[in-house]
Structure 1
Amino acid sequence: MPLNLSRIASHEVENPTDLSLRGAFELLEPKLRPPFALTIPTPQEYLLLNKAILHGVLCETHFAKTHIKHLHAIVTDGYGLFVSLVAKVTNELYVKLVEPVKCQLIWVAKEMIDVQAVGVHDLLVCFLRQIVGGDFSDGNLWLCFEIVSILLTKWDCLLEVEPMILTSGLYTYLRLLADHSRLLSNPKLEALKQLEIDFCIKVLREQFSVCLKIGRDLVRLLQDLVHLPNFRAVWKDLVLNPGNFKTPGFSKISQLYNTRTSSQYSLLRITPEMETQLRFLLTYVKLGSQKRYQAWFAKKFLCEPNRETLIVDIVRFICCAHHPTNEIIQSDILPRWAVVGWLLNHCTKNYVQANVKLALLYDWLFFDERVDNIMNIEPAMLLMVYSLPRYIDVTHTLLEFLFLLVDSYDVEHKDNMVKCVSSSFSVLVKKGVIRSLDVLTSCDALSPLLKERLGKLLSGAGGKNYIPWGVVGALKTYRCIV
């Protein structure tokens, strides 16, 4: 009998993908031994054969090379079907896979890169999404190491087949480095951190034209790493010497600001399981009935040490990658702003809370109605409005932080950021997200200083460089562009 791919608890049913692969292997096992048949399989036979070969590769390590040679002999679709099956296993089963199978998956990925298989980009993205932020367990660090090693050792091949995979890797490892660089005196991390730095710097220095595709979130991620010498040099060039990137057409950082980051990048830092649970929460759970679902989610994903940094990625996902339909918006389904408010309240570390606010408000600083999606800025607006007056502190802290960003994020581009934030407020009213800004400007509970600053910003004056005392400490979290 063939081995199972995954561990199954006594109360769980077997995964259909696991069952399907094992069933195909059991049915075709005699045909998986040399000499192989020379007949051309029908489409249904081809599907079964691909499933059987994959199961054999993953479970029969001593025959893995033989199985792959068999695959090479029968492939008719550029390995597209086989790669899609590997991706399905990775997405659905990775967490429960037995350790030898996880190792074989990495081996299969390398084989598929070598033959320039169709869909190899999507396959590597599946692996990147299985790397959990804030998770310093041996298994998670092993996966980090294996994938960044693949990206470096298979560099030339990946560049030829699909250079955009480098941007997916860059986004992922910039974000992971922010977590890994905060944990000091961990020998297990040193070799991994150096590989991650080497990969990110190589992409930034050698393929910056591809990096531009990431857009404004590239700046947000780099900003969190300027305390590392290699990235400080990149940052200096980005701000003062853009010509050092030798990229035709790139001359100033504002070009990145003006490029909206695709939601595909936000998805990279959310595991498929997290995505499923968050979309369920925001699609089917009614407002008022969410507490037990939120408690389950927090226990499952956020309660381990250092996992709090995941909240930054979850908020970015909610703002940029989960846009509910009008039908859901007008229903009593739990709204995005309420989940963001809960996540903010879940933050215990000041630097995490500051980065979560930045993730929530980031698109406000560069909002252009012609290219940006109003749904990216809607959660912050509604959270400020619906926190009045009972949770006035939430409204205060978000407005204060927004003004802090306008004043201090990039002083060279402050005037444009004033216009973008003012435009954000105006578009939110024009599109009917809120009826009027009077809900803020006429609120007796709102700080007079904040109301004055808001009034000046909306009038186009922008106001003085007022930084509320309550958020002065947050300035230490940011390394503003100078």
Structure 2
Amino acid sequence: MVEKLIKRSIHEAENPIEITLREAFCVLEPKLRPPFPLTIPTQEGYTNLNSAILYGILCEPHMAKVHVKHLHGIITDGYEYFTSILVKIVIELYGKLVDSVKRQLIWVTHEMVDVSAVGYDGLLVALLRQIVGGDFGEENLWLCFEMVNLFSSKWVCLLEEVPLVLSGALYVFLRLLADHCRVMNIPKIESLRQMEIAFCVRMLRENFSLCLRIGRDLVRLLQDLVHVPEFRSIWKDLLYNPSAFKVDGFVDISQMYGTRTSRWYFLLRITPEMESQLRFLLTRVKFGSQKRYQVWFARKFLAVPERKGVVIDIVRFICCAHHPSNEIIHSDIIPRWAVIGWLLKYDLKHYVEANLKLALFYDWIFFDEKVDNIMNIEPAVLLMVHSIPRYIDITHSLLEFLFILLDNYDVERKEIVSRGISTALHALTRKGVVQSLDVLTSCDMLSPIFKERLGKLLSDWQFQHRKEFQSTNIPPGGIPSSSSSLESQTSA
């Protein structure tokens, strides 16, 4: 009797993917046993045979090696179709797969890496996305272990063939370590943590030029691990000895600040199911009717206290990876800032709340209109503005945090931070995200100190901008006379 691919309740309908694979297996089962037929299948026969073999690999572990040898013998497309089915299974069915099928899934993934199958990079990414942050359950920790083991054992070929995926794995495991390093004296987590640390340190020490592709969020993740001895030494080298990383042209951590992190990395820490629900909330649900959807989302993804740390990843996703169209922005769909406000009011531990605010403001402190997207910084200012007056505590706490960043984020490079924040504020008003910041600077409910500091930020930017403008318009010979200035204007 053929084993099941997924777990389902009595009243749940069968999944179309499982039906297709099982039917192909049942029809072709006689041809899946040695000796294999030598005939060349038609295109339809080829796809059906791929499906049948995959079902056999996943559901007949004792025959897996036979099935994979059969697969190697019939492949004509570089495993592209076979791998595409695997990716679809991981994205759409992973949470429902029976345990034995999950084990076979990892096994066949190793096989696809070994043969450099077309599309195996997408398979690795799909599996990374199924690792749930803050989940210390046995199944999730098992997947963490299997994936870090895969990336460590296949290091050489992955570095040569899919280096970007390796940088994505670094992003994922640094983020997971922030959770795993807060749990002590649990043997299964201890061994996993050491493997994750070893992988990340190797990446940072041996391939730092590849790590730099992550951009500024690499700094954010490393800061969360500065208490771990192995990362403390890396952090010191970043600040005081950048030449230790042996990357030509890398001379200061501020170079990382100026590189915006691609939205691809933020998707790695959001499961496909979570992404689907968030995009539905942000594109289909009307403002004022969102409560029941938020309750469902919280029960599904935030019910376990340890999992609440995922709100940090959700905020980075909302700010940097989900940019609504103008049509949605001007509709009655719930705006991004309102969803973030809801998350901020959720019952969070202090360090999670602080990291959520950092995730919200992170692009502010390095904002450069030449490289940054205004949509990344939009939610924070709108949340502050729209929280007045009903949720003034949110406006107050966000402004307070912004000034804490200004004073303490990187004291030795405070000018960069100050310029980034003031540039962000002016870009937001100039591009019409908010009509004016007077709603903040003249709000009687806010601290006079905050209003004064906000006003100073704005005036400092105007002074600096005017100074830079003048310096770029003054010729080497000095300030032009009235006549020469007039001549240059009329001759232009």
Q: TM-score range by the shorter chain?
A: over 0.9
Q: Report the equivalent of 2:174.
A: 174
Q: Is the 8 A contact 2:121 2:165 kept in 1?
A: yes
Per-residue CA deviations over 1:314-367 (Å, capped at 9, x if unaligned) read: 111111111111111100001110000000111421111000000000000111
Q: Report the equivalent of 2:330.
A: 330
| Residue 274 of structure 1 pairs with residue 274 of structure 2 | yes
Q: Report the equivalent of 2:478.
A: none
**Deviation of residue 27 (structure 1)?**
2.1
Deviates more, 1:190-199 or 1:340-349: 340-349
Q: Is the 8 A contact 1:374 1:428 kept in 2?
A: yes
For residues 430 and 52 of structure 2, what CA distance do their matches in structure 1 show?
57
For residues 186 and 462 of structure 2, what CA distance do their matches in structure 1 show?
46
Q: Report the equivalent of 1:56.
A: 56
Per-residue CA deviations over 1:243-263 (Å, capped at 9, x if unaligned) read: 000111211111111111011
For residues 263 and 447 of structure 2, what CA distance do their matches in structure 1 show?
35
Q: Is the 8 A contact 1:87 1:122 kept in 2?
A: yes
Greater Cα radius of gyration, structure 1 or 2: 2
Deviating beyond 6 angstroms after TM superposition, the runs of 4 or more aligned structure 1 residues are none
Q: Report the equivalent of 2:469.
A: none
Q: Is the 8 A contact 1:216 1:257 kept in 2?
A: yes
Q: Is the 8 A contact 2:184 2:190 kept in 1?
A: no
| Root-mean-square deviation over aligned CA pairs | 1.3
Letter in 2 for 1:210: L
Letter in 1 for 2:255: Q
Per-residue CA deviations over 1:378-425 (Å, capped at 9, x if unaligned) read: 110110000011111101111110111111111122112111111111
- Listed as ranges, the gaps of 5+ residues in structure 2 are 464-492
For residues 149 and 73 of structure 1, what CA distance do their matches in structure 2 show?
28
Q: Report the equivalent of 1:78.
A: 78
Letter in 2 for 1:353: E
For residues 114 and 319 of structure 2, what CA distance do their matches in structure 1 show?
37
Q: Report the equivalent of 2:402.
A: 402
Q: Report the equivalent of 1:305.
A: 305
- TM-score for both structures, normalised by structure 2: 0.92
Deviates more, 1:448-457 or 1:161-170: 161-170
Q: Is the 8 A contact 1:453 1:462 kept in 2?
A: no
Q: Report the equivalent of 2:441.
A: 441
Identical pairs, percent? 65
For residues 321 and 48 of structure 2, what CA distance do their matches in structure 1 show?
35
Q: Report the equivalent of 1:467.
A: none
Q: Is the 8 A contact 2:5 2:59 kept in 1?
A: yes
Letter in 1 for 2:153: T
Secondary structure of the residue that 1:354 maps to in structure 2?
Answer: helix
Determine which structure has greater relative contact order: mean sequence separation of CA pairs < 8 Å that are 6+ residues apart, divided by chain length: 1
Q: Is the 8 A contact 1:347 1:353 kept in 2?
A: no
Per-residue CA deviations over 1:264-290 (Å, capped at 9, x if unaligned) read: 110111111111111111110101111
For residues 291 and 231 of structure 1, what CA distance do their matches in structure 2 show?
41
For residues 14 and 424 of structure 2, what CA distance do their matches in structure 1 show?
48
| Residue 240 of structure 1 pairs with residue 227 of structure 2 | no
Per-residue CA deviations over 1:128-172 (Å, capped at 9, x if unaligned) read: 111100100011111111110111111112112211221111101
Q: Report the equivalent of 2:5.
A: 5
Letter in 1 for 2:316: R
For residues 128 and 136 of structure 2, what CA distance do their matches in structure 1 show?
15
For residues 158 and 462 of structure 2, what CA distance do their matches in structure 1 show?
47
Secondary structure of the residue that 2:365 maps to in structure 1?
Answer: helix
Q: Report the equivalent of 1:475.
A: none
**Deviation of residue 11 (structure 1)?**
2.9
Q: Report the equivalent of 1:127.
A: 127
Secondary structure of the residue that 2:8 maps to in structure 1?
Answer: coil
**Deviation of residue 62 (structure 1)?**
1.2
**Deviation of residue 461 (structure 1)?**
6.8
**Deviation of residue 2 (structure 1)?**
2.0
For residues 303 and 19 of structure 1, what CA distance do their matches in structure 2 show?
33
**Deviation of residue 82 (structure 1)?**
1.0
**Deviation of residue 462 (structure 1)?**
11
- Listed as ranges, the gaps of 5+ residues in structure 1 are 464-482
Per-residue CA deviations over 1:87-127 (Å, capped at 9, x if unaligned) read: 11111111111000000001001001111111121111111
Secondary structure of the residue that 1:306 maps to in structure 2?
Answer: helix
Q: Report the equivalent of 1:476.
A: none
Letter in 1 for 2:342: W
**Deviation of residue 66 (structure 1)?**
1.0
Q: Is the 8 A contact 1:456 1:462 kept in 2?
A: no
**Deviation of residue 373 (structure 1)?**
1.0
Q: Report the equivalent of 1:285.
A: 285
Per-residue CA deviations over 1:181-203 (Å, capped at 9, x if unaligned) read: 10122122111010010000011
Q: Report the equivalent of 2:483.
A: none
Deviates more, 1:10-19 or 1:120-129: 10-19
Q: How does 1:3-402 map to 2 (within 5 A)?
A: 3-402=3-402
For residues 318 and 348 of structure 2, what CA distance do their matches in structure 1 show?
20
For residues 199 and 223 of structure 2, what CA distance do their matches in structure 1 show?
17
